[in-house]
Amino acid sequence: MAASHVDAACRWLRGYEKNPKDRRFRFTSAGSVLPFFSSLYVLEELARDPAPPPVFPYLAKTGNKQACPIHAVKNAGRKLELVIHPFGPSQPVVVRGPDGQQLADVRVQEVPSHRSRVRRIVVPAAHRPGTYRVSLGPVPFLVIGGNAEKLVFSCPQGARLGTPRRGHFVHARGKPYYFRVPRAKKSFALELSEPVTLRDPSGEMVRAVAGRKGRLEIPVAGRAGLWSFVAGNQTFVKFEGVPPVVAFGEPGRFFLPDEVRAQPH
pLDDT above 80 for 114: no
Cα separation of 174 and 231, whole Å?
Answer: 7
**Cis amide bond preceding 243, omega within 30:** no
98 versus 26: which is more confidently predicted? 98
pLDDT of residue 1: 36
4: confidence class by pLDDT, cuts 50, 70, 90: very low
pLDDT above 60 for 143: yes
pLDDT above 70 for 256: yes
35: confidence class by pLDDT, cuts 50, 70, 90: very low
Question: What is the H or E stretch that residue 117 is in?
Answer: strand 117-123
pLDDT above 60 for 173: yes
pLDDT of residue 10: 59
Tell me the CB-side half-sphere exposure of residue 149, using CA atoms within 13 A.
Answer: 7
pLDDT above 70 for 215: yes
pLDDT of residue 58: 82
34 versus 142: which is more confidently predicted? 142
39: confidence class by pLDDT, cuts 50, 70, 90: very low
pLDDT of residue 8: 53
pLDDT of residue 163: 75
Cα separation of 170 and 40, whole Å?
Answer: 20
pLDDT of residue 113: 56
pLDDT of residue 227: 98
**DSSP per position, 219-230:** E-TT--EEEEEE
- pLDDT tens digits along 47-100: 555 555 555 678 888 887 889 999 999 999 999 999 898 887 778 899 999 999
pLDDT above 50 for 26: no
pLDDT above 50 for 145: yes
Domain ranges of the chain: 2-48, 59-261
Q: What is the mean pLDDT of the chain?
A: 81
Q: Choose the weakest-confidence range: 36-45, 160-169, 202-211.
A: 36-45
Mean pLDDT of all residues in 117-134: 94
Tell me, rounded to whole angstroms, the distance of Cα 167 from its chain centroid: 18
194 versus 89: which is more confidently predicted? 194
pLDDT above 50 for 32: no
Its pTM surpasses 0.75: yes
Exposure string of 39-63, with b = 16+ CB inside 10 Å and e = fewer, is eeebeebbeeeeeeeebbbbbbbbb
